[in-house]
Amino acid sequence: MNFYVSLGDIQDSIDNFNRVHNNHPNLPDILHELYKNQNYICSESELPDISGFALMDDDEFLKKIRTYK
């Protein structure tokens, strides 16, 4: 089944996993957890313009992706 999650939700889940387990998760486990907790976007939305993302530093990028829901 297809489902949509934001990059910010994935990053937040990775950060949380690192804090709780002091270890790095793998992406399939993170996606499974997001799906299980119903932390996904119900329908496909119009894709945002991400052309400027490559010019951002890490902090700017993380702040920007966390605003996409």
- Kindly write down the DSSP assignment for every residue of 21-53, as one continuous string: HSSPPPHHHHHHHHHHTT-SBSS--PPP--TTG
CA pair distance 61, 39, nearest whole angstrom? 21
User: What pLDDT is attached to residue 19?
Assistant: 92
The pLDDT of residue 58 is above 80:
yes
Query: Whole-prediction pTM value?
Result: 0.55
User: What pLDDT is attached to residue 24?
Assistant: 85
The pLDDT of residue 4 is above 70:
yes
**Tens digit of pLDDT for each residue in 20-38?**
998 888 989 888 888 888 8
Decide which of 69 and 21 is more confident: 21
